[in-house]
Amino acid sequence: MLIKTKVDDVYEEGLNKEVNVASIYGQLGLDDESLDFILETLEKRDLISVKYPLLPIFNTTYISIRIPEKEEEQKPQGSVVEAYEIEGDNKHFWGIVNIIRLPDNSLFYYITTPRVKVSTLSLLEEIIEIVSSQIPPESVNLTEEEKSIKIYRRQCNITENILEKLVFNQRDKKLLCGMVRAKMFGLGRLEYLLHDPFLEEVVVNKARASVIVYHRKYGWMKTNLFFESESDVLENIARIGRRVGRHVSTLSPLLDAHLPGKERINATLFPISLSGNTITVRKFSEEPLTLPVLLNNKTLDYKTASLLWQALHYEMNVLVVGGTASGKTSMLNSLLMFIPPDQRIITIEDTREIQLPVYFENWVPLVSRPPNPEGLGAVTILDLMINSLRMRPDRIIVGEVRKAEEAQVMFEAMHTGHSVYSTFHANTAYVAIKRLSEDPINISLSELEIIDFIVTQRRDRRTNRRRTYEVAIMQRSEEDFSIDRIVSYRSRTDSFEFKKLPIEYINKVNFFTGMTEEEIYLDLNIRESILKWMVKQKLFRIDDVGKVVKLYYHDKERLLKGVENNLPLQKIVNW
């Protein structure tokens, strides 16, 4: 989509002829001030040559210098599998995505974004200079979300004020504002990919090579986007570093950062990455995945979900394990929404990923901090875990445990009566226990018994399908252990096998609640009916889940009556 502005009209008016400036005042719908600004901008960037008269009785003239325009990208040959629009950030970003099946049967991600002519491009460069003089990007720390919003709003106000008389419609003004923002604070054209809700990963492996994306539906695909030089990639990495207050150089060639927009960015510089500078962007959904969404996607079944809900309600310790991108954090986050919302919850993460409903008013999110360039000011996960024990938490959630010290503090918290939840890299429950009990972590088997459930997530790379592979408990003998699977996933039938609850779990729930085994199963059935009703009513959003959970713990009878009569949530809440 080509965006034309009145700057293009002025530039094109001077092609192949000398133009008398006085003759076009008003002719192009421009006042004196706007036309003077355009001429100064074009002359500054050597797009026009202006002749100023020696005597005031003569008029100023200009002639445009012909600059070849970049040719429009050609869509690759193939059949379009799917096409959709993307739009984001108050309509400042817009594009059309075509998923194309190429002749070799591979899939290609082709995105069309707004483009401008060379004359309008010079205008945007001038606007960037003006905005930079009032909001210097190097001096602005954009790691705080609220501060970022203020900076973006100010940038947009300045940009739109300049463009007010130079564009033909409001939509173009917004899109040009987005282009300025992408260049100043974002990742250029890559910024448009971040507004595609179907993308999970955006990868730059080197300059002059296709940017690669991971699509939720189609997996890995090449795109029509690329950086023209390594210096362009480096410039974007440096801009990211400034946004998060980190210096990236050959002495510090690695960057791992979390941006206010919820993206996690990793970057490496040449020669650490031999092929060239790299950028890896992990995108997170603006609306986090909830348990009804996972149920609707068949990530797990209703019986498993009701069991995990019951376990969280009665303060069992749960460890979610799996490989990279298997959905560990999404599963943990979806389960945490079913904790009683009045309890004090402390979440501890390296990068902010866990998101709870607004009804969790006693929730304190803590995030670690890397050291500054002088090596000072670091706050580690371990520091936060130790400090959280002094904050009187009912629940402690650790985003991910990696080191021996972190694991030791986590199990110490469990043994001192806190309910703890975390994620851990392991392909199965058995491997998780082995890794935790052996070097370098070395947690004894007797301590590991305090984990009530190990939930294993797995992603099938062939089908791009995420499933809960198992829900298990550890059974310990004198010097060894075994894994007892309560829930097992059967890939052949894409179904779940649910065994009878282990006696250890029955006894523990009985100890906490006094419920008999029969009552425990009845309670599971009630929770299952609520979850089925939530999916049927399409209560997928985080705040809708929060309302249901709050109602369950504060007025269970009202909720159950509404579920029984299959009423919409709004009617139950306003009863």
3-state per-residue secondary structure call for 166-215: CCCCHHHHHHHHHHHHHHHCCCCCHHHHCCCCCEEEEEECCCCCCCEEEE
pLDDT computed for residue 351 by the predictor: 75
pLDDT for residue 137 is more than 60? no
Q: Within a domain: residue 161?
A: no
Let me know if residue 29 belongs to a domain. Answer: yes
Kindly report the three-state secondary structure assignment for every residue of 408-442.
Answer: HHHHHHHHCCCEEEEEEECCCHHHHHHHHHCCCCC
Give the closest residue to 319 by CA, choosing from 517, 473, 198.
473
Q: How confident is the model at residue 139 (pLDDT cuts 50, 70, 90)?
A: very low
As a whole number, mean pLDDT of residues 523-532 equals: 97
* Predicted pLDDT at 155: 86
- Assess if residue 306 is contained within a domain: yes
Percentage helix, strand, coil for the chain under 3-state DSSP, each rounded to 5? 35, 25, 40
Give the per-residue pLDDT at 524: 97
Is 263 in contact with 278 (CB distance < 8 Å)? no
* Cis peptide, bond prior to residue 271, ω within 30 of zero: yes
482-495 pLDDT tens trace: 999 999 999 989 99
Q: How many CB atoms lie within 10 A of CB 340?
A: 17
**CB neighbour class for 497 (10 Å; exposed up to 12, middle 13-18, buried from 19):** middle
Do the Cβ atoms of 209 and 95 come closer than 8 Å?
no
Task: Report the pLDDT averaged over residues 286-314.
Answer: 94
Mean pLDDT of 149-168: 85
- For residues 59 and 20, the answer to whether their CB atoms sit within 8 Å is yes
Q: How many independent structural domains does the chain possess?
A: 2
| Spatial separation of the C-alpha atoms in residues 227 and 247, rounded to whole Å | 22
Q: Which of 64, 91, 118 is the last residue of a domain?
A: 64
353, 398 Cβ separation under 8 angstroms: no
| Nearest Cα residue to 535 out of 569, 510, 565 | 569
| 387 part of a folded domain | yes
Taking the C-alpha atoms of residue 216 and residue 463, their distance in angstroms, rounded to an integer, is: 11
Of the candidates 356, 330, 320, 319, the residue with the CA atom closest to the CA atom of residue 341: 356
Which of 301, 340, 313 lies closest to 515, judged by CA? 313
Both tokens of 410, joined, read 């986590």
Q: Is the separation of the CB atoms in 260 and 148 below 8 Å?
A: yes
Residue 281 lies in a domain: no
Among 92-106, 126-140, 345-359, the range of highest mean pLDDT? 92-106
Q: How many Cα atoms sit within 13 Å of 470 on the Cβ side?
A: 17
pLDDT in tens, 362-413: 999 998 887 776 778 889 888 999 999 899 999 999 988 988 988 988 998 8
What is the average pLDDT across 469-476? 93
The whole-angstrom separation of Cα 38 and Cα 8 is: 10
The pLDDT of residue 101 is above 60: yes
Phi, psi of 86 (to 5 degrees): -120, 145
- pLDDT band of residue 260 (cuts 50, 70, 90) is low
Report whether 155 contacts 181 (CB < 8 A).
yes
Instruction: Classify residue 453: in a domain, yes or no.
Output: yes
8 Å CB contact between 454 and 321 = yes
- Give strand pairing partners of 254: 268
Residue 500 clears pLDDT 60, i.e. is over it: yes
* Percent of the chain's residues with pLDDT above 70: 95
Name the nearest CA neighbour of 461 among 324, 570, 285: 324
Quick one: which of 478, 461, 480, 460 has its CA closest to 469? 460
CA 72, CA 84: separation in Å to the nearest integer? Answer: 20
For residues 167 and 6, the answer to whether their CB atoms sit within 8 Å is yes
Segments forming the whole domain that contains residue 43:
2-64
Q: Is the pLDDT of residue 142 over 60?
A: no
CA 87 to chain centre: 16
Cα 43 from chain centroid (whole Å): 42
Could you tell me the CATH number of the domain that includes residue 29? Answer: 1.10.10.10
pLDDT band at 540 (very low <50, low <70, confident <90, very high): very high
Query: In the structure encoding, which two tokens stand for residue 70, read together?
Result: 């970049």
Do residues 126 and 191 touch, judged by C-beta distance below 8 A?
A: no
Q: What is the DSSP string of 217-259?
A: TTEEEEES---SSHHHHHHHHHHHHHHTT---SSSS-EEEEE-
- Which of 132-136, 355-359, 423-427, 454-458 shows the lowest per-residue confidence on average (mean pLDDT)? 132-136
Q: Give the mean model confidence (pLDDT) for residues 243-249.
A: 76
Is 60 exceeded by the pLDDT of residue 141? no
Domain end point (choices 64, 83, 106): 64
Q: What is the CATH number of the domain that holds 354?
A: 3.40.50.300
3-state secondary structure of 396: strand
Residue 375 region by backbone torsions, left for phi larger than 0, else alpha for psi between -120 and 50, else beta: left
Q: Phi and psi for 424 in degrees, rounded to 5?
A: -155, 140
Cα 426 to Cα 131, 267, 436, 458: the distances in Å are 48, 25, 10, 10
Sequence-distant contacts of 484-487: CB under 8 A, at least 24 apart:
485/429, 486/307, 486/453, 487/300, 487/303, 487/304, 487/307
**573 part of a folded domain:** no
Predicted TM-score of the model (pTM): 0.76
The reply to whether 84 falls in a domain is: no
Contact in structure between 408 and 358 (CB atoms under 8 Å): no
In what helix (H) or strand (E) does residue 97 lie, and over which residues does it extend?
A: strand 93-101
Cβ atoms of 233 and 253 within 8 Å: the answer is no
Last residue of a domain, one of 37, 64, 91: 64
Q: Where are the alpha helices (DSSP H) in 31-99?
A: 32-44
